[in-house]
Amino acid sequence: LQSTQNSDDAARSHSPRVRETIIDFRKGEFEEMTKEIRQIPLLAIKPDPTQPRKEFDDEELQELAQSIRQNGLLNPITVKSNRHGEYTIIAGERSYRAHRILDEETIECIVYNGSNSKELQLVENINRKDLNIMEVVNAYRSYLDADHTIDELSQVVGKPKNIISWLLNLEN
């Protein structure tokens, strides 16, 4: 991976904007991806319906909201923009929900435009300890149903193919 940064927009905007261009050579292909940090209205952000995590503990969200109220958001959420000026969450749905509890109007986001947002979402969620086993299996299945192979899935999540196959057998 090779990366360059440009922050000249920061001087012209009331909210800091950092633009990073990443060139991905991992798959033997050239792909340019950009990430930009900025404040986005909560109303323009939607959770991804294919997000692996399905259960959110209300008490834990309240605790996170209080922490954000006291300390601010420590890490921006990651979103991908669509063609209609809306954004879909890749990572950080708990923080997004906590901001809604706080009736915040905006949230700091990393706007990502690479084509592998599903991989990022999968890795972000699978590496969490509190996903239940069927959420992991469903996340794997969703990735495979999007025309990916078990070899690709194994590389993305860093787990051996035999473990992935064993987990997928739990569906039956």
| Residues catalogued as catalytic | 93
Tokens of 154: 């194994």
C-alpha 138/C-alpha 144 separation (Å) is: 10
Residue 44 identity: A
Short-list 91, 97, 88, 161, CA closest to 128? 91
C-alpha 172/C-alpha 170 separation (Å) is: 5
Residue 54: alpha-carbon gap to chain centroid: 14
C-alpha 141/C-alpha 162 separation (Å) is: 15
